[in-house]
Structure 1
Amino acid sequence: MHISLLQPVIDRPGPWASVYADVSHGTEDTAKQQELTASATTAQLFALGADEATCGAVHEALLTRRGDPGTHAGRALFAAHGAIVLDTPLPGPPAVPFAAWGPVPRVTPLLAAIGDDPVCLVVRLDRTGADFAVVGERGGGAERGDARAAGERSERHIRTAADHTVEQNAEEIADAVRKEFESSGAEVVVLVGAAHERRLVHGKLPEPLRALTYESEHGGRAPGAERDLVERDIAQVRAAQESDHIAQVADRFRAGTGPGGKHAKPHSAAGLPALVEAAREHRIDTLLVSPHGADSARQVWVGSDVDQLAVHGMELPNLGELRPAAARADDALVRSAAAHGADIVVVHDPERAPAGGLGAILR
């Protein structure tokens, strides 16, 4: 999972207001519904101990951001010290809207909602060039420019024989796809365009990239061509990529080894004491989280620094924190892991999830 979304809330000290709100707008009294939601949420936060400035910031944020009529949407807000630090849409309304107040932000429900969010490079191509868009990592679809193939880069290629021009163009487009794939951080590619051009480009990609490249049988280079069908194909490819990634991570965790294979030194960790120790020592490479695991909701102790994390509150003074606070284990471990560049994978399938709901592959 790409955790850049969490960066604004990771190193900033709390306490934190975390809000998961239903901001659906399906009726004529939208403004009244917004006011009721904002008032109820801030009243709940105030009852939990949130300061007046932070409650006011949340109230204003819930009132000022309006979606399109008829939409069914959700939002996650994180606020501290009177300011909204992160305000991000959810794929849909939260199953159970709630507000929380605590020493670390309640980010695990956000990660569970958005999923692995694999980055997909979408290439709309024809014999003259290709247009690139990156979908994923909470970025939606963003145009990244246009790579013109031989026909438009140099008129001499247009004048060559038709077969030669198509081959040359396919090679140039394939090379542009490779470069864009590497620079964009994408994990998978979808080619959109006429079947002949798609297959030519696909066949000229380097083998490792070819294995990560899929073709949509719908649409063309024009962005609006069969848009719904193309978006469906992209969503299916991304879902398959996410499922494969989660399965691979779960298998690595269960095997107790990393990418080095079966002869590598075992380095999986499970159980809160082992996980907390690994987090403090910055040894977590990949944190596995199951939202409904028993250990996920257990209490650990934290300080203002991400490395001040302990199973027992009496340990925190030795780590420099004289006023330890209780926090959920999943959120505390996510905060620590994200701060030190670890990957975080949410495993919804209980058959694949670690026992207790939390586990780690170690560095």
Structure 2
Amino acid sequence: MDLAFLHPLYEHPGPWASVYVDLSRHAEDTPHQRQLTAEAMSRELAGQGADEATCRAVRDAIAELKHSPEPHGRALFARAGKVALDPPLARAPQRDRAVWAPLPRATPLLDLTGEDAVAVVAYIDRRGADFELRSALAREKAGSVTGRQWPVHRTGSADWSERHFQLRVENTWEHNAAEIADALAVCQEETRADLLILVGDDRERQTVHERLPKRLHERVVAARHGAGSRLLDGDVEEARATHVRRHAEAELERFLAARAPDEEGRARAAEGVPALIEAAREHRIDELVVRPDGSDIHREVWIGEDADQLAVRRTDLKILGEQNSWSARVDDALLRSVVATNAPAISLTPVEAAREQDIPAGGLGALLRWP
């Protein structure tokens, strides 16, 4: 997951209010329920020591969502009486929650917004194709392409003139398939889609697939439905979830390969809180790997004002020359560090039936830029 959008959270010192709100329920009394949620989250923050201005900012921001049609939820991060960031969520949180802490509680975003695979669905027939952009938050038209309109259908006759006509049909379809593939490649580049879902007859899908650039072949998914079908939300979600799971599995495989020492006994992966803190201080983390239910996620470490000022013990920070220090959760501290060094992070939640020995120790690991 690219964490660049979190930069505003680390441009100012804390403490921070981090709030996750479920907006997935829509009923007649929804506006009233969301007003109650706004007041409850404000009280929760106040009970944890948040200042009145920040509690009010959070309450007002949630209250403004009373009539929101958003399908999942929203995260809000606030300090000093202002909401600094309020990203929509790609999945609904299990419950509404509010935290007041020295650093933003951003780890849940890895599951709630991370790896929101974007798909372009191409509805193909012999005359052209319609494109539709699908993600957890969007469903919109993404263009169309119209090929040659005549001739497009075969006949059953076998005389020379009909065979000649059928050859022209084939030429027309080959031309149209090439145009569809070109347009689909452009659409993928413009939307940065992770998946291309092809809907149509088997031969039509295959012909378009073959004409796509090779760099896109691994992104193609063939829909189970035939020509004239419109994919249901469940079909698209299944394809998107499969893509996310395979990506997480591939990243775990990278971590496991990097965990093995090289000929000089050095590994290009780290795990365990002390090793990760050291790697973060030295800007060596290339990708943070997180299992949100890991035993070390809630562990407290010590942080300074800058992202690379973190240590297992408070005395270690003083040795490094940092005079001001605060206790913070290790996942919050590591996320701040990787955002500062433009490194990504990934949650291993989608990985199914992973062996315990394959999960980073304590649920936290990292691929390193150098051993």
- TM class, shorter-length: 0.7 to 0.9
Task: Classify the secondary structure of the residue corresponding to 1:277.
Answer: helix
The equivalent of 2:294 in structure 1 is: 293
Q: Is the 8 A contact 1:257 1:264 kept in 2?
A: no
CA distance in 2, matches of 1:60, 1:324: 32
Letter paired with 1:359: G
CA distance in 2, matches of 1:264, 1:149: 59
1:23 Cα deviation from its structure 2 partner: 4.2
CA distance in 1, matches of 2:120, 2:266: 35
Larger of the two Rg values belongs to structure:
2
The equivalent of 2:148 in structure 1 is: 151
Cα distance per residue 1:125-146 (max 9 Å; x no partner): 333444444444x653454444
The equivalent of 1:39 in structure 2 is: 39
The equivalent of 1:336 in structure 2 is: 337
State the superposition RMSD in angstroms. Answer: 3.4
1:96 Cα deviation from its structure 2 partner: 3.7
Letter paired with 1:39: E
CA distance in 1, matches of 2:107, 2:297: 9
Task: Classify the secondary structure of the residue corresponding to 2:108.
Answer: helix
Equivalent residue in structure 2 for 1:190, among 180, 193, 197: 197
303-312 vs 78-87, greater mean Cα deviation: 303-312
Task: Classify the secondary structure of the residue corresponding to 2:276.
Answer: helix
Which ranges in structure 1 are unaligned for 5 or more consecutive residues?
Answer: none
Q: Is the 8 A contact 2:54 2:80 kept in 1?
A: yes
Task: Classify the secondary structure of the residue corresponding to 1:211.
Answer: helix
CA distance in 1, matches of 2:116, 2:168: 43
Q: Identity rate of aligned residues, in percent?
A: 42
1:240 Cα deviation from its structure 2 partner: 1.3
188-197 vs 266-275, greater mean Cα deviation: 188-197
Letter paired with 1:226: R
The equivalent of 1:62 in structure 2 is: 62
Equivalent residue in structure 2 for 1:140, among 134, 138, 141: 138
CA distance in 1, matches of 2:295, 2:92: 25
The equivalent of 1:101 in structure 2 is: 100
The alignment's TM-score, normalised by the length of structure 2, stands at 0.81
The alignment's TM-score, normalised by the length of structure 1, stands at 0.83
Cα distance per residue 1:236-258 (max 9 Å; x no partner): 12111111111111122122269
Task: Classify the secondary structure of the residue corresponding to 1:226.
Answer: coil
Give 1:1-363 correspondences, 5 Å limit: 1-23=1-23, 25=25, 28-67=28-67, 73-91=72-90, 93-136=92-135, 140-146=138-144, 148=145, 150-151=147-148, 161-218=168-225, 226-228=230-232, 231-256=233-258, 266-317=267-318, 321-348=322-349, 351=355, 352-363=358-369
CA distance in 1, matches of 2:197, 2:264: 35
Cα pair distance change 1:323/1:262, threshold 3 Å: same
Which ranges in structure 2 are unaligned for 5 or more consecutive residues?
Answer: 153-164
Count of residue pairs the alignment pairs up: 350
CA distance in 2, matches of 1:44, 1:124: 48
CA distance in 1, matches of 2:264, 2:186: 34
